[in-house]
Structure 1
Amino acid sequence: MAIFHTSIKTFSRGKGQSAVAAAAYRGGLLLSDFATGQQHDYRRRSGVVETFCLAPSDAPDWALVPGELWVVAEAAERRKDATVARKVELSLPHELSDEQRAHLAFAIAEALVDRYQFAVQASIHCPGAPDGLNHHVHLLASTRRIGPEGFGEKTRELDGGPSGKVQVQWVREMVAETTNAHLEAAGLTVTIDHRSLAEQARAASDRGDELQAVALSREPTKHLGKAATALSRKGADSRLVAENDAIEVGNAEHLDHLTVQAGRERRAIPMPASVGHAQGGRPSSMQGLAPGLEIRGVSGMRLSQVLGRQHEATEDQRPISLTERVAQALRDLQDIARARADLSTQRIRAGLEWAQVELARAGETVPLRQWITGAVIQVRALRAAILGRALRLVSLGRAERLWHLAQHEWERFNSDYPMGTSGYSRPEWTQRRERRLSALEQRTTELEKARLRGSAEAVAEVDADILRKAEELEAMPSPSQFILERQAVRAAVTTVSPVRVLKPRPPTLH
């Protein structure tokens, strides 16, 4: 599934960084820095798909030539600690073709140039990972606006503070909207969301979409960064890698918990009041997920916390009224309609709405309670079956991704660290190799189970069960008809002749 990733960074001369070097590295170019006399040659770098420059329409021609643009940009800065360039890194959907991704990168770069009037070098990179999903673009921008006379004033609104936060938010929203527009134009139904996971969960809860709100409860993994990634590739232990492994295990437990809980008596799962959005947290792959059940990433509580707080919240919980049960069933029907628009739920929806009006008008009756109870149970069962199908596909995508990562680590270790040439002692080399083999075996077992649950035959059985539940739900009698039938039965019982009472015989004396 397409993911959202946008990061904004700066290059500072005070840190020994150079705009010329940054442009050469990201564009796979040979550029000369005349100020220092250095040549930066990255023409042999792999992974660079395309590099192009954009500038305002009245900018000089040299603004479109990287070898001239960044030399002039460096010369425009006088301070020894000056910020010489800004970088916006964006993910590009792997569902698009190379040409479509290039058009998307151009549209985003064009929007930035139009707003801030600076010059931009866009460098599109293809994935370096085996999964082939990490398409992205580096947008290297000048820190000054550019016009007919060359570089002018600084883009101070991007420097930080309240103004900087507003601009960053605009960039994130623009990237999400532009990407979704290109995905839609390509005939794809996947979308991305620039909001933090906690904000998405709150929004889903506010609009009554509890299916989405509950699904947005997976804890995101943490961004490793260059140092942790380098340690991981070398096989060294890393705290962040260990934490991410623990988070992955917790997420798997949480998915299983959601599947089990979906069909049980509904209880409110407490959502965290405030959850940080960890940089680099990415959702699981959800190819084939039913429309309306997009789980774009999750943030929230670990399984033990959910169970503990749920127990505390329900110790003195008041009974749920019939009116609340009907309202919840109607919200469940909304979730079902969004996920499976092909299922007919008009009759049961009309029945629940009629029961809602009848409760407000005349209050509870025994037949009405009986009908509502049966309807709520069947609606909940249908919703749980749809959610269970979605989670099967989510689990399969996640298991495939983790297996590919484990397989890559196993192959990389064997190729990069042959026995006797790695610098490790024999026991340490054996331990590191066995650890990767054990991880690969574990991921292989998980993948086999996920493939079994997500196979075409298993999903077909679930689909058949969903259709059966939907047909049974629509076949239910209307509440008015059900109540009339129960009243007729009760009237028939009360009008029959009374049963003759037999008097006991007196004891017989022998």
Structure 2
Amino acid sequence: MAIFHTAIKTFSRGNGQSAVAAAAYRGGLLLADFLTGQQHDYRRRSGVVETFCLAPPDAPDWALLPGELWAVAEAAERRKDATVAREIELSLPHELNDEQRAHLAFAIAEALVDRYQFAVQASIHSPGTPDGLNHHVHLLASTRRIGPGGFGEKTRELDGGVSGKSQVQWIREMVAETTNAHLEAAGLAVSIDHRSLAEQARAASDRGDELQAAALSREPTKHLGKAATALSRKGRDGRLFAENEAIETSNAEHLVFLDQEAGRKGLSAASQQASAGGVKRGRSVGAAQLAPGLEIRGMLGMRLPNLAGRAQEKVGAPVPLSLTEHVTNALRDLHEVARARADICVQRVRAGLEWVRDVLADSAETPAIRQWVAKAVIRVRALRNAALGRATRLIALGRAERLHHIALQEWERFNSDYPPGSTCYSRPEWTHRRERRMSVLEQRAGELEKARLRGSAEALAVVDADVVRRAAELEAMPAPSELASQLLEAPLVAEEVPLPALRPRPPTLH
């Protein structure tokens, strides 16, 4: 699913940073710094998909050439501690193709140039992570406005304080709205939200959607940073990876409960989709939703007046699932149970659901039919979650064993290649590197022990017993065909029969 990520930082000469070096590295270019005489050559760098420059219409032609733009930008700064460039790093949806991501990056860069009148170099990078989803763009911007005469005044409104916070908020809103417009234009029913999880949970709670508020109250994962990502590429996951894994496991267990709760409420009230990743599906972007002063930019940076100017669609109450749809979902759950546990017999309830589906196709529903389906659907969903929980434990155990093996190999390799007294490192550096590997090994050993406890024969036996018990309760239900006279002779109803509902965990507004 599409994610929202926006990070803003600055490059300071006082910290030994250079706008020329930053532009060369992000664009995979060969650029010369005329102030220092140094050449920065990153032409062999992989992962750079595309690099282009944007500037206001009245800017000089050299503002579109990275080799001249950043040399002049460096020369415009006199102070030895001057801020020489500002970077805005954005994630790009992996659901779009390369061309669509390039159009989106162009539209966002053009909106920034229109608002702040600075020059921008946009460098689109391909994912550097194993999952292949981390498409992103680096927007390297000058810290001064540029006009016909070259660089002028500084963009002080972005420096910080109250003004800086409001500008950052505008940028985040603009990025989210522009991205959603491009996702919708591409025909994708996904969107992103620039608000924090706490803000989204409060909004859901205010509108009475407690189920979604509970889902959004999940604990956010921690940003890894370049150091942790570099360790991951070498096969050595650090502390942050372990913490994020624990957070994701806890969130997944909570979402299983919410999934059961949604199944219960779906039979008696409007179906509610609790967002697992902060993504709102099927959301239309209207002009009333845009940030103040924002114009959505579409393909090739052109405006989309028919998209940005149309009236906001009215969103009515969510339509509840029909009884036939609930039966279809239960049959799909039974198929997943059969794939996970071929030894579990669910033919009786499967035949019952298929019989109900055929009856509903020929006639309307009755209170008795709805009550039987309600009990069957809830029990089928509970059986599915129990059966898949066993497979999840085994997968977690396999991953923990693999990571522990990698950490053990790294520990043994270091001790073999760099024994005590080795001259490759100084004594403090050798001690630091050895302790770091020992710490990772101890951490992996602890994770493996926990995974083995959860995946032990005794623990799995408890899970298997629970699966068998739930399957037996499900198969013990009277077949609807046996109760045909009671189910079909009852009067038809238009209203749903309420079911006892669990109380969801209240949202934690962090």
1:91 aligned residue? 91
List aligned pairs for 1:147-226, cutoff 5 A: 147-226=147-226
Deviations 1:113-133 (A, max 9, x none): 011100000000001112110
Shift of residue 252, structure 1, vs aligned partner: 2.9
State how 1:38-53 maps to structure 2 within 5 Å: 38-53=38-53
Q: In structure 2, how many angstroms separate the alpha carbons of the residues matched to 1:153 and 1:49?
A: 32
Relative distance call for 1:151 and 1:250 in structure 2 (3 A) is same
In structure 2, the residue matched to 1:69 is: 69
Secondary structure in 2 aligned to 1:36?
A: coil
Match of 1:108 in 2: 108
CA-CA distance at 1:479 after TM superposition? 7.8
SS of 1:49's partner is strand
1:477: Cα distance to partner? 3.9
1:295 correspondence with 2:292: no
Partner SS for 1:145:
strand
CA contact (8 A) 1:263 1:380 kept: no
Whether the aligned pair in 2 keeps the contact of 1:96 and 1:183 (CA below 8 Å) is: yes
Offset of 1:205 from its aligned partner? 2.0
Gapped regions of structure 1 (runs ≥ 5): 267-289, 299-332, 345-370, 450-467, 483-510
Question: Given that residues 50 and 125 in structure 1 are in contact (C-alpha distance below 8 angstroms), is that contact kept between their aligned partners in structure 2?
Answer: yes
Higher relative contact order (CA 8 A, sep 6+): 2
Residue 233 (structure 1) shift: 5.5
Secondary structure class of the residue paired with 1:87:
strand
Q: Is the 8 A contact 2:211 2:258 kept in 1?
A: no
Q: Which amino acid aligns with 1:240?
A: L
The structural deviation recorded for 1:146 is 0.3
Decide whether the 8 Å contact of 2:88 with 2:139 is kept in 1: yes
- In structure 2, the CA distance between the partners of 1:432 and 1:103, relative to structure 1 (3 Å rule), is same
Instruction: Describe the shift of the 1:3–1:96 C-alpha distance in structure 2 as closer, same or farther (beyond 3 A).
Output: same
How far apart, in 2, do the equivalents of 1:481 and 1:262 lie?
Answer: 15
Q: 1:257 to 1:383 in 2, by over 3 A?
A: closer
Q: CA deviation at 1:261?
A: 4.9
Could you state the TM-score of these two structures normalised by the residue count of structure 2?
0.60
The structural deviation recorded for 1:186 is: 1.1
Q: Distance in 1 between matches of 2:134 and 2:438?
A: 32
Which stretch shifts more, 224-233 or 34-43? 224-233
Matched with 1:367 is none
Structure 1 residue 403, shift from structure 2 partner: 8.7
Deviation at 1:218, TM superposition (A): 1.8
1:287 alignment counterpart: none
Match of 2:54 in 1: 54
Secondary structure, counterpart of 2:183 in structure 1? helix
**SS of 2:79 mapped into structure 1:** coil
1:256 and 1:479, CA in 2 relative to 1: closer, same or farther beyond 3 A? closer
CA root-mean-square deviation: 5.1
Residue-by-residue CA offset, 1:198-254 (whole Å, 9 max, x unaligned): 111121222233332222132111112234444556677854344323322322332
Structure 2 vs 1, CA of residues 107 and 421 (structure 1 numbering), >3 Å: closer, same or farther? farther
How far 1:68 sits from its partner (Å)? 0.5
- 1:302 counterpart residue number: none
Q: State the one-letter code of the partner of 1:22.
A: A
Which residue is 1:29 aligned to?
29
C-alpha spacing 1:249/1:343, structure 2 compared with 1 (3 Å): closer
CA separation of 1:424 and 1:294: change in aligned 2, threshold 3 A: farther
1:291–1:255 CA distance, 2 compared to 1 (3 A): closer
- Structure 2 equivalent of residue 285 of structure 1: none
Partner of 2:139: 139
Mean Cα displacement is larger for which, 381-390 or 1-10?
Answer: 381-390
Task: Indicate conservation of the 8 Å contact 1:215/1:295, yes or no.
Answer: yes
CA contact (8 A) 1:52 1:123 kept: yes
AA in 2 matched with 1:19: A
Shift of 1:77: 0.9
Counterpart of 1:80, as a letter, is K
The residue type paired with residue 115 of structure 1 is: R
2: distance between equivalents of 1:60 and 1:395? 65
- Greater radius of gyration (CA): 1
**Partner Cα separation in structure 2 for residue 173 and residue 91 of structure 1:** 14
Which amino acid in structure 2 is aligned with residue 189 of structure 1? Answer: A
SS of 1:93 mapped into structure 2:
coil
Amino acid at match of 2:29: L
Q: Which amino acid aligns with 1:36?
A: T
- Residue 373 and residue 14 in structure 1: after superposition, are their counterparts in 2 closer, same or farther (change >3 A)? farther
In structure 2, give the amino acid aligned to 1:84.
V
Deviation at 1:258, TM superposition (A): 2.7
* Pairs within 5 Å for 1:315-394: 334=317, 337=320
Task: Report the Cα distance in structure 2 between the residues aligned to 1:34 and 1:481, rounded to whole angstroms.
Answer: 76
How far residue 341 of structure 1 moved from its aligned partner, in angstroms, is 12
Equivalent residue of 1:52, what SS?
A: strand
Q: Is the 8 A contact 1:410 1:437 kept in 2?
A: no
Structure 1 length-normalised TM: 0.60
- C-alpha contact 2:47 2:126 (8 A) present in aligned 1: yes
Q: Distance in 2 between matches of 1:79 and 1:20?
A: 16
Per the alignment, do residues 118 and 75 of structure 1 end up closer, same or farther by CA in structure 2, a change over 3 Å counting? same
Distance 2:260 2:10 in 1: 47
> What is the distance in 2 between the residues matched to 1:225 and 1:236?
14
SS in 1 for 2:202: helix
Residues 38 and 242 (structure 1), Cα distance of their counterparts in 2 relative to 1, 3 Å cut: same
Match of 1:330 in 2: none
Structure 1 position 254 matched with structure 2 position 254: yes
* Mapped partners of 1:397, 1:15: distance in 2: 47
In the superposition, relative to structure 1, how do residues 72 and 208 fare at CA in structure 2: closer, same or farther (>3 Å)?
same
Q: Does the aligned pair in 1 maintain the 2:367–2:492 contact within 8 Å?
A: no
In 2: Cα distance, 1:180 partner to 1:55 partner: 24
CA distance in 2, matches of 1:95, 1:237: 27
Secondary structure of the equivalent of 1:32? strand
- 2:363 paired residue number: none
How far apart are the structure 2 equivalents of 1:132 and 1:420?
34
Find the counterpart in structure 1 of residue 11 from structure 2.
11
Alignment partner of 1:152: what SS? Answer: strand
Structure 2 residue aligned with 1:329? none
- Stretches of structure 2 lacking an aligned partner (at least 5 in a row): 280-315, 327-365, 421-433, 461-479, 481-486, 498-510
Which residue of the partner structure matches residue 505 of structure 2?
Answer: none
**Residues paired across the two proteins, number:** 376
8 Å contact from structure 1 (residues 173, 194) kept in 2: yes
Distance 1:423 1:65, change over 3 A: same
Distance 1:430 1:139, change over 3 A: closer
